[in-house]
Structure 1
Protein backbone atom coordinates (compact mmCIF):
# COMPACT_ATOMS: atom_id res chain seq x y z
CA UNK A 1 0.00 0.00 0.00
CA UNK A 2 1.44 3.34 -1.04
CA UNK A 3 2.16 5.89 1.65
CA UNK A 4 -0.24 8.82 1.71
CA UNK A 5 1.25 11.99 0.21
CA UNK A 6 0.33 14.04 3.27
CA UNK A 7 2.18 11.55 5.49
CA UNK A 8 5.24 11.83 3.27
CA UNK A 9 5.17 15.63 3.39
CA UNK A 10 4.79 15.63 7.18
CA UNK A 11 7.71 13.28 7.74
CA UNK A 12 9.92 15.10 5.23
CA UNK A 13 9.91 17.97 7.72
CA UNK A 14 11.01 15.79 10.64
CA UNK A 15 14.63 14.78 11.21
CA UNK A 16 15.60 11.20 11.85
CA UNK A 17 17.08 12.41 15.14
CA UNK A 18 13.66 13.66 16.23
CA UNK A 19 12.03 10.41 15.15
CA UNK A 20 14.43 8.34 17.26
CA UNK A 21 13.61 10.52 20.29
CA UNK A 22 9.86 10.03 19.86
CA UNK A 23 10.26 6.28 19.31
CA UNK A 24 12.52 6.04 22.36
CA UNK A 25 9.73 7.57 24.46
CA UNK A 26 7.51 4.76 23.17
CA UNK A 27 10.05 2.13 24.24
CA UNK A 28 11.62 1.49 20.83
CA UNK A 29 15.41 1.84 21.09
CA UNK A 30 16.54 -0.16 18.07
CA UNK A 31 15.22 1.74 15.04
CA UNK A 32 18.37 3.30 13.50
CA UNK A 33 19.82 1.09 10.75
CA UNK A 34 23.55 0.83 11.44
CA UNK A 35 25.93 1.33 8.56
CA UNK A 36 23.54 3.36 6.43
CA UNK A 37 25.33 6.51 5.27
CA UNK A 38 24.57 8.70 2.26
CA UNK A 39 26.52 7.53 -0.79
CA UNK A 40 26.54 11.03 -2.27
CA UNK A 41 26.44 14.56 -0.85
CA UNK A 42 23.25 16.57 -0.74
CA UNK A 43 20.78 13.70 -0.78
CA UNK A 44 17.34 14.88 0.33
CA UNK A 45 15.33 13.53 3.25
CA UNK A 46 13.23 10.71 1.80
CA UNK A 47 10.21 8.89 3.20
CA UNK A 48 8.61 5.70 1.91
CA UNK A 49 7.38 2.23 2.69
CA UNK A 50 10.00 -0.49 2.95
CA UNK A 51 10.40 -2.96 0.11
CA UNK A 52 12.72 -5.61 1.53
CA UNK A 53 15.49 -7.68 -0.09
CA UNK A 54 17.32 -10.51 1.64
CA UNK A 55 20.80 -11.85 1.01
CA UNK A 56 22.49 -14.78 2.79
CA UNK A 57 26.16 -15.82 2.70
CA UNK A 58 27.49 -16.87 -0.70
CA UNK A 59 27.25 -20.55 -1.51
CA UNK A 60 29.30 -21.61 -4.49
CA UNK A 61 26.58 -23.60 -6.25
CA UNK A 62 24.06 -20.76 -5.94
CA UNK A 63 26.01 -17.51 -5.99
CA UNK A 64 27.03 -17.49 -9.65
CA UNK A 65 26.59 -15.05 -12.54
CA UNK A 66 24.05 -17.53 -13.96
CA UNK A 67 21.85 -16.89 -10.90
CA UNK A 68 21.18 -13.37 -12.15
CA UNK A 69 18.77 -14.88 -14.70
CA UNK A 70 16.92 -16.95 -12.07
CA UNK A 71 13.27 -16.27 -11.18
CA UNK A 72 14.58 -15.60 -7.67
CA UNK A 73 17.03 -12.82 -8.43
CA UNK A 74 17.63 -9.15 -7.78
CA UNK A 75 16.53 -8.52 -11.36
CA UNK A 76 13.15 -10.16 -10.74
CA UNK A 77 12.76 -8.31 -7.44
CA UNK A 78 13.34 -4.95 -9.12
CA UNK A 79 10.44 -5.61 -11.48
CA UNK A 80 8.19 -6.02 -8.42
CA UNK A 81 9.19 -2.74 -6.77
CA UNK A 82 6.35 -0.20 -6.54
CA UNK A 83 6.70 3.49 -7.20
CA UNK A 84 7.73 5.44 -4.13
CA UNK A 85 9.23 2.46 -2.28
CA UNK A 86 12.35 2.71 -0.15
CA UNK A 87 14.21 -0.51 -0.93
CA UNK A 88 15.89 -1.97 2.16
CA UNK A 89 18.47 -4.69 1.51
CA UNK A 90 19.79 -7.02 4.18
CA UNK A 91 23.39 -7.63 3.11
CA UNK A 92 24.47 -8.81 6.58
CA UNK A 93 27.00 -6.01 6.78
CA UNK A 94 29.17 -7.61 4.08
CA UNK A 95 31.55 -4.95 2.77
CA UNK A 96 33.55 -6.78 0.08
CA UNK A 97 30.75 -7.48 -2.43
CA UNK A 98 28.61 -4.72 -3.92
CA UNK A 99 24.91 -5.60 -3.95
CA UNK A 100 23.94 -3.31 -6.86
CA UNK A 101 25.68 -1.35 -9.58
CA UNK A 102 24.68 1.34 -12.03
CA UNK A 103 22.52 -0.74 -14.39
CA UNK A 104 20.29 -2.13 -11.64
CA UNK A 105 20.01 1.29 -10.01
CA UNK A 106 19.08 2.85 -13.33
CA UNK A 107 16.23 0.35 -13.67
CA UNK A 108 15.09 1.15 -10.13
CA UNK A 109 14.91 4.82 -11.10
CA UNK A 110 12.72 3.87 -14.07
CA UNK A 111 10.49 1.93 -11.68
CA UNK A 112 10.05 5.05 -9.55
CA UNK A 113 11.91 3.76 -6.50
CA UNK A 114 12.47 6.57 -4.00
CA UNK A 115 15.73 5.33 -2.44
CA UNK A 116 17.92 2.31 -1.67
CA UNK A 117 19.10 1.54 1.87
CA UNK A 118 21.50 -1.27 2.78
CA UNK A 119 23.91 -2.29 5.50
CA UNK A 120 26.14 -3.56 2.69
CA UNK A 121 28.01 -1.74 -0.06
CA UNK A 122 27.52 -0.65 -3.65
CA UNK A 123 29.66 -1.09 -6.76
CA UNK A 124 30.11 1.18 -9.79
CA UNK A 125 29.87 4.12 -7.41
CA UNK A 126 30.26 6.85 -10.03
CA UNK A 127 27.69 5.21 -12.27
CA UNK A 128 25.25 4.73 -9.40
CA UNK A 129 25.53 8.41 -8.51
CA UNK A 130 24.92 9.30 -12.16
CA UNK A 131 21.60 7.41 -12.12
CA UNK A 132 20.26 9.86 -9.55
CA UNK A 133 19.02 7.11 -7.23
CA UNK A 134 19.55 8.23 -3.62
CA UNK A 135 21.51 5.51 -1.81
CA UNK A 136 22.38 4.95 1.84
CA UNK A 137 25.00 2.24 2.40
CA UNK A 138 28.23 1.29 4.19
CA UNK A 139 30.57 2.15 1.32
CA UNK A 140 31.70 0.78 -2.03
CA UNK A 141 33.45 -2.33 -3.34
CA UNK A 142 34.33 -3.50 -6.84
CA UNK A 143 33.34 -7.21 -6.64
CA UNK A 144 29.77 -8.20 -7.58
CA UNK A 145 27.23 -9.46 -5.06
CA UNK A 146 27.83 -13.14 -5.86
CA UNK A 147 31.43 -12.78 -4.67
CA UNK A 148 30.13 -12.74 -1.12
CA UNK A 149 26.33 -13.03 -1.08
CA UNK A 150 23.43 -15.14 -2.32
CA UNK A 151 20.14 -13.37 -3.03
CA UNK A 152 17.21 -15.42 -1.71
CA UNK A 153 14.01 -13.40 -1.33
CA UNK A 154 12.11 -10.15 -1.39
CA UNK A 155 9.21 -8.76 0.63
CA UNK A 156 10.02 -10.83 3.70
CA UNK A 157 11.03 -9.68 7.19
CA UNK A 158 14.74 -8.91 7.24
CA UNK A 159 17.48 -7.65 9.54
CA UNK A 160 19.22 -4.58 8.16
CA UNK A 161 21.84 -2.83 10.21
CA UNK A 162 20.71 -4.80 13.25
CA UNK A 163 17.09 -3.64 12.94
CA UNK A 164 14.07 -5.83 12.17
CA UNK A 165 12.41 -4.47 9.03
CA UNK A 166 9.06 -5.76 7.81
CA UNK A 167 7.56 -5.04 4.40
CA UNK A 168 5.50 -1.83 4.50
CA UNK A 169 7.21 -0.41 7.59
CA UNK A 170 8.10 3.22 7.01
CA UNK A 171 11.69 4.29 6.38
CA UNK A 172 12.95 7.87 6.75
CA UNK A 173 16.48 8.67 5.56
CA UNK A 174 18.55 11.83 5.83
CA UNK A 175 22.14 12.86 6.58
CA UNK A 176 22.03 10.99 9.91
CA UNK A 177 21.13 7.67 8.27
CA UNK A 178 17.99 5.54 8.09
CA UNK A 179 15.30 5.21 10.74
CA UNK A 180 12.42 2.74 10.82
CA UNK A 181 8.89 3.61 11.89
CA UNK A 182 6.83 0.48 12.54
CA UNK A 183 3.76 0.56 10.30
CA UNK A 184 1.45 0.27 13.30
CA UNK A 185 2.88 3.43 14.88
CA UNK A 186 2.68 5.66 11.82
CA UNK A 187 -0.42 7.59 12.89
CA UNK A 188 1.05 8.33 16.30
CA UNK A 189 4.30 9.59 14.77
CA UNK A 190 2.42 11.79 12.30
CA UNK A 191 0.53 13.35 15.19
CA UNK A 192 3.51 13.84 17.51
CA UNK A 193 6.52 14.52 15.30
CA UNK A 194 5.63 18.03 14.08
CA UNK A 195 5.01 19.17 17.65
CA UNK A 196 8.36 17.72 18.76
CA UNK A 197 10.13 19.65 15.98
CA UNK A 198 8.23 22.83 16.91
CA UNK A 199 9.13 22.45 20.58
CA UNK A 200 12.82 21.83 19.88
CA UNK A 201 12.96 24.85 17.57
CA UNK A 202 11.54 26.97 20.40
CA UNK A 203 14.10 25.54 22.83
CA UNK A 204 16.89 26.41 20.40
CA UNK A 205 15.70 30.02 20.31
CA UNK A 206 15.78 30.07 24.10
CA UNK A 207 19.34 28.70 24.06
CA UNK A 208 20.32 31.38 21.53
CA UNK A 209 19.12 34.11 23.88
CA UNK A 210 21.13 32.69 26.77
CA UNK A 211 18.63 30.65 28.79
CA UNK A 212 20.38 27.92 30.88
CA UNK A 213 19.56 24.31 30.07
CA UNK A 214 18.28 23.10 33.49
CA UNK A 215 14.51 23.39 33.37
CA UNK A 216 14.62 24.20 29.66
CA UNK A 217 15.78 20.93 28.13
CA UNK A 218 13.87 18.94 29.17
CA UNK A 219 11.20 21.44 30.07
CA UNK A 220 10.00 21.80 33.62
CA UNK A 221 6.41 22.79 34.34
CA UNK A 222 7.15 26.52 34.33
CA UNK A 223 8.97 26.40 30.99
CA UNK A 224 6.29 24.23 29.44
CA UNK A 225 3.62 26.69 30.53
CA UNK A 226 5.61 29.54 28.96
CA UNK A 227 6.05 27.54 25.77
CA UNK A 228 2.35 26.74 25.55
CA UNK A 229 1.43 30.37 26.13
CA UNK A 230 3.76 31.57 23.36
CA UNK A 231 2.50 28.84 21.03
CA UNK A 232 -1.10 29.93 21.67
CA UNK A 233 -0.20 33.46 20.62
CA UNK A 234 1.05 32.08 17.32
Structure 2
Protein backbone atom coordinates (compact mmCIF):
# COMPACT_ATOMS: atom_id res chain seq x y z
CA UNK A 1 0.00 0.00 0.00
CA UNK A 2 1.35 3.41 -0.92
CA UNK A 3 2.18 5.69 1.98
CA UNK A 4 -0.35 8.50 2.44
CA UNK A 5 1.10 11.90 1.66
CA UNK A 6 0.49 14.43 4.43
CA UNK A 7 0.57 18.08 3.41
CA UNK A 8 0.49 20.86 5.98
CA UNK A 9 -1.85 23.86 5.53
CA UNK A 10 1.20 26.16 5.57
CA UNK A 11 2.71 24.30 2.62
CA UNK A 12 -0.56 24.52 0.70
CA UNK A 13 -0.75 28.25 1.32
CA UNK A 14 2.83 28.70 0.12
CA UNK A 15 2.18 26.62 -2.99
CA UNK A 16 -0.89 28.54 -4.08
CA UNK A 17 0.32 32.02 -3.11
CA UNK A 18 1.20 34.44 -5.86
CA UNK A 19 3.37 36.30 -3.34
CA UNK A 20 2.32 39.62 -4.79
CA UNK A 21 3.00 42.73 -2.74
CA UNK A 22 -0.20 44.24 -1.35
CA UNK A 23 -0.88 47.96 -1.37
CA UNK A 24 -2.74 49.86 1.30
CA UNK A 25 -6.02 51.43 0.33
CA UNK A 26 -5.91 55.21 0.20
CA UNK A 27 -8.99 56.03 2.26
CA UNK A 28 -9.70 54.81 5.78
CA UNK A 29 -12.44 55.67 8.25
CA UNK A 30 -10.21 55.68 11.30
CA UNK A 31 -11.91 55.67 14.67
CA UNK A 32 -15.36 55.44 13.14
CA UNK A 33 -17.92 53.80 15.42
CA UNK A 34 -21.05 53.74 13.27
CA UNK A 35 -23.38 50.75 13.09
CA UNK A 36 -24.80 49.13 9.97
CA UNK A 37 -28.21 50.30 11.18
CA UNK A 38 -27.03 53.91 11.02
CA UNK A 39 -25.32 53.35 7.67
CA UNK A 40 -28.49 51.79 6.25
CA UNK A 41 -30.68 54.61 7.58
CA UNK A 42 -28.31 57.18 6.11
CA UNK A 43 -28.29 55.52 2.69
CA UNK A 44 -32.09 55.30 2.75
CA UNK A 45 -32.38 59.00 3.63
CA UNK A 46 -30.20 59.88 0.65
CA UNK A 47 -31.35 57.37 -1.98
CA UNK A 48 -34.52 55.65 -0.79
CA UNK A 49 -32.68 52.30 -0.72
CA UNK A 50 -31.33 50.64 2.43
CA UNK A 51 -28.37 48.77 0.87
CA UNK A 52 -28.89 45.63 2.96
CA UNK A 53 -27.52 42.39 1.48
CA UNK A 54 -30.42 40.01 2.21
CA UNK A 55 -30.01 36.99 4.50
CA UNK A 56 -26.27 37.54 5.06
CA UNK A 57 -25.22 37.25 8.72
CA UNK A 58 -21.90 37.06 10.60
CA UNK A 59 -20.25 33.71 11.27
CA UNK A 60 -19.06 35.21 14.57
CA UNK A 61 -20.57 38.17 16.41
CA UNK A 62 -18.65 41.21 17.66
CA UNK A 63 -16.50 41.41 14.52
CA UNK A 64 -16.94 44.39 12.19
CA UNK A 65 -15.92 44.99 8.60
CA UNK A 66 -15.61 48.17 6.57
CA UNK A 67 -13.76 48.48 3.31
CA UNK A 68 -13.70 48.40 -0.47
CA UNK A 69 -14.90 45.22 -2.14
CA UNK A 70 -13.23 42.91 -4.60
CA UNK A 71 -16.16 41.17 -6.28
CA UNK A 72 -16.37 37.50 -7.23
CA UNK A 73 -19.02 35.81 -9.37
CA UNK A 74 -18.83 32.02 -9.25
CA UNK A 75 -20.78 28.79 -9.16
CA UNK A 76 -21.27 27.43 -5.68
CA UNK A 77 -19.31 24.28 -6.59
CA UNK A 78 -16.24 26.29 -7.70
CA UNK A 79 -14.02 27.54 -4.89
CA UNK A 80 -11.03 28.20 -7.14
CA UNK A 81 -12.25 31.65 -8.16
CA UNK A 82 -12.34 32.72 -4.50
CA UNK A 83 -8.62 31.93 -4.23
CA UNK A 84 -7.87 34.10 -7.27
CA UNK A 85 -9.77 36.95 -5.63
CA UNK A 86 -7.71 36.70 -2.44
CA UNK A 87 -4.54 37.10 -4.47
CA UNK A 88 -6.03 40.05 -6.37
CA UNK A 89 -7.16 41.97 -3.27
CA UNK A 90 -5.12 44.66 -1.55
CA UNK A 91 -4.62 45.10 2.18
CA UNK A 92 -7.82 46.13 3.96
CA UNK A 93 -10.13 45.19 1.10
CA UNK A 94 -13.13 42.90 1.46
CA UNK A 95 -13.74 39.80 -0.66
CA UNK A 96 -17.39 39.85 -1.80
CA UNK A 97 -18.52 36.55 -3.35
CA UNK A 98 -21.82 35.94 -5.14
CA UNK A 99 -22.80 32.32 -5.87
CA UNK A 100 -25.64 30.64 -7.72
CA UNK A 101 -26.71 28.85 -4.53
CA UNK A 102 -25.87 28.28 -0.87
CA UNK A 103 -25.70 24.47 -0.63
CA UNK A 104 -21.93 24.12 -1.26
CA UNK A 105 -19.19 26.06 0.53
CA UNK A 106 -16.91 28.36 -1.47
CA UNK A 107 -14.96 29.51 1.60
CA UNK A 108 -13.42 27.92 4.68
CA UNK A 109 -10.53 27.80 7.15
CA UNK A 110 -7.64 27.87 4.64
CA UNK A 111 -8.97 30.88 2.75
CA UNK A 112 -9.71 32.73 5.99
CA UNK A 113 -6.20 32.05 7.29
CA UNK A 114 -4.66 33.12 3.98
CA UNK A 115 -6.76 36.30 3.85
CA UNK A 116 -5.88 37.18 7.42
CA UNK A 117 -2.17 36.72 6.69
CA UNK A 118 -2.51 39.05 3.68
CA UNK A 119 -4.19 41.71 5.80
CA UNK A 120 -7.60 41.61 4.11
CA UNK A 121 -10.52 43.16 5.93
CA UNK A 122 -13.00 40.28 5.78
CA UNK A 123 -15.22 38.24 3.49
CA UNK A 124 -18.88 38.50 2.50
CA UNK A 125 -20.46 35.47 0.84
CA UNK A 126 -23.82 35.60 -0.90
CA UNK A 127 -23.66 31.84 -0.62
CA UNK A 128 -22.21 29.29 1.82
CA UNK A 129 -19.18 28.94 4.09
CA UNK A 130 -17.77 25.95 5.98
CA UNK A 131 -15.16 25.31 8.73
CA UNK A 132 -16.90 27.86 10.94
CA UNK A 133 -15.40 26.62 14.23
CA UNK A 134 -11.89 27.25 12.90
CA UNK A 135 -12.91 30.59 11.37
CA UNK A 136 -14.37 31.73 14.69
CA UNK A 137 -11.14 30.79 16.44
CA UNK A 138 -9.21 32.92 13.93
CA UNK A 139 -11.34 36.01 14.65
CA UNK A 140 -11.38 36.66 10.91
CA UNK A 141 -14.71 38.30 9.96
CA UNK A 142 -16.82 36.25 7.55
CA UNK A 143 -20.46 36.91 6.67
CA UNK A 144 -22.58 34.41 4.72
CA UNK A 145 -26.10 33.25 3.90
CA UNK A 146 -25.51 29.62 4.82
CA UNK A 147 -23.20 27.27 6.74
CA UNK A 148 -22.45 23.82 5.29
CA UNK A 149 -19.79 21.07 5.68
CA UNK A 150 -19.19 20.34 1.99
CA UNK A 151 -17.11 22.00 -0.72
CA UNK A 152 -16.88 21.90 -4.50
CA UNK A 153 -13.83 21.92 -6.78
CA UNK A 154 -11.01 24.36 -7.67
CA UNK A 155 -12.34 25.00 -11.18
CA UNK A 156 -11.58 28.74 -11.09
CA UNK A 157 -14.08 29.37 -13.89
CA UNK A 158 -15.79 32.38 -12.33
CA UNK A 159 -15.07 36.10 -12.77
CA UNK A 160 -13.43 38.72 -10.56
CA UNK A 161 -14.20 42.43 -10.28
CA UNK A 162 -17.44 42.51 -12.22
CA UNK A 163 -20.81 43.98 -11.14
CA UNK A 164 -22.97 41.67 -9.01
CA UNK A 165 -26.69 41.58 -8.26
CA UNK A 166 -27.27 40.22 -4.76
CA UNK A 167 -30.97 40.06 -3.98
CA UNK A 168 -31.62 43.26 -5.88
CA UNK A 169 -28.60 45.12 -4.48
CA UNK A 170 -26.08 46.13 -7.14
CA UNK A 171 -22.49 45.57 -5.99
CA UNK A 172 -19.73 47.13 -8.08
CA UNK A 173 -15.98 46.64 -7.66
CA UNK A 174 -14.68 49.42 -5.42
CA UNK A 175 -17.96 49.96 -3.58
CA UNK A 176 -17.81 49.93 0.20
CA UNK A 177 -19.30 47.34 2.49
CA UNK A 178 -20.04 47.58 6.22
CA UNK A 179 -20.82 44.61 8.43
CA UNK A 180 -21.56 43.93 12.09
CA UNK A 181 -23.85 41.74 14.21
CA UNK A 182 -26.94 43.00 12.34
CA UNK A 183 -25.74 42.10 8.86
CA UNK A 184 -24.11 43.73 5.84
CA UNK A 185 -24.81 47.03 4.06
CA UNK A 186 -23.41 48.04 0.66
CA UNK A 187 -22.62 51.70 -0.05
CA UNK A 188 -21.81 52.83 -3.62
CA UNK A 189 -18.32 54.33 -3.81
CA UNK A 190 -19.56 57.67 -5.15
CA UNK A 191 -21.90 58.09 -2.16
CA UNK A 192 -19.51 57.00 0.58
CA UNK A 193 -18.64 60.38 2.10
CA UNK A 194 -22.23 61.63 1.95
CA UNK A 195 -23.49 58.45 3.60
CA UNK A 196 -20.86 58.60 6.34
CA UNK A 197 -21.65 62.23 7.10
CA UNK A 198 -25.37 61.44 7.23
CA UNK A 199 -24.76 58.40 9.44
CA UNK A 200 -22.76 60.51 11.89
CA UNK A 201 -25.67 62.96 12.11
CA UNK A 202 -28.04 60.05 12.77
CA UNK A 203 -25.74 58.69 15.47
CA UNK A 204 -25.55 62.10 17.15
CA UNK A 205 -29.34 62.48 17.03
CA UNK A 206 -29.83 59.01 18.54
CA UNK A 207 -27.44 59.86 21.36
CA UNK A 208 -29.43 63.03 22.07
CA UNK A 209 -32.67 61.02 22.15
CA UNK A 210 -31.16 58.45 24.53
CA UNK A 211 -30.11 61.29 26.82
CA UNK A 212 -33.65 62.68 26.88
CA UNK A 213 -35.06 59.22 27.66
CA UNK A 214 -32.67 58.90 30.59
CA UNK A 215 -33.93 62.26 31.84
CA UNK A 216 -37.48 60.87 31.90
CA UNK A 217 -38.94 62.22 28.66
CA UNK A 218 -41.58 60.23 26.76
CA UNK A 219 -40.24 58.77 23.53
CA UNK A 220 -43.52 59.55 21.75
CA UNK A 221 -43.11 63.22 22.69
CA UNK A 222 -39.49 63.25 21.52
CA UNK A 223 -40.43 61.71 18.17
CA UNK A 224 -43.64 63.71 17.81
CA UNK A 225 -45.85 60.64 17.52
The alignment's TM-score, normalised by the length of structure 1, stands at 0.77
Q: Could you tell me how far apart the structure 2 residues matched to 1:169 and 1:194 are?
A: 19
SS at the partner of 2:47? coil
C-alpha displacement of 1:107: 1.1
Listed as ranges, the gaps of 5+ residues in structure 2 are 1-23
2:82 alignment partner, one of 74, 80, 92: 74
C-alpha displacement of 1:159: 2.0
1:49 alignment partner, one of 62, 68, 85: 68
Listed as ranges, the gaps of 5+ residues in structure 1 are 220-234
Which string of whole-angstrom CA distances, capped at 9 and with x for unpartnered residues, describes residues 144-185 of structure 1?
Answer: 1349x9751111111234411101111111111111111111
Relative distance call for 1:157 and 1:54 in structure 2 (3 A) is same
The 5-angstrom pairing of residues 1-234 of structure 1 reads 2-5=25-28, 7-10=29-32, 13-43=33-63, 45-56=64-75, 68=80, 73-92=81-100, 94-146=101-153, 151-217=157-223
Relative distance call for 1:172 and 1:208 in structure 2 (3 A) is same
C-alpha displacement of 1:57: 6.3
Relative distance call for 1:30 and 1:188 in structure 2 (3 A) is closer
Q: Could you tell me how far apart the structure 2 residues matched to 1:57 and 1:132 are?
A: 24
Contact 1:8 1:48 in 2 (8 A): no
Relative distance call for 1:111 and 1:218 in structure 2 (3 A) is farther
Contact 1:88 1:117 in 2 (8 A): yes
Q: In the alignment, what sits opposite 1:224?
A: none
Which string of whole-angstrom CA distances, capped at 9 and with x for unpartnered residues, describes residues 59-113 of structure 1?
Answer: xxxx5xxx84xxxx33222211110011111124x22101111112211112111
The alignment's TM-score, normalised by the length of structure 2, stands at 0.80
Q: Could you tell me how far apart the structure 2 residues matched to 1:74 and 1:203 are?
A: 44
CA RMSD of aligned residues (A): 2.5
Q: Could you tell me how far apart the structure 1 residues matched to 2:69 and 2:84 are?
A: 17
Relative distance call for 1:82 and 1:29 in structure 2 (3 A) is same
Q: What is the total number of aligned residue pairs between the two structures?
A: 202
Q: Could you tell me how far apart the structure 1 residues matched to 2:38 and 2:218 are?
A: 22
SS at the partner of 1:52? strand
Q: Could you tell me how far apart the structure 2 residues matched to 1:76 and 1:164 are?
A: 22
Q: Could you tell me how far apart the structure 1 residues matched to 2:129 and 2:210 are?
A: 38
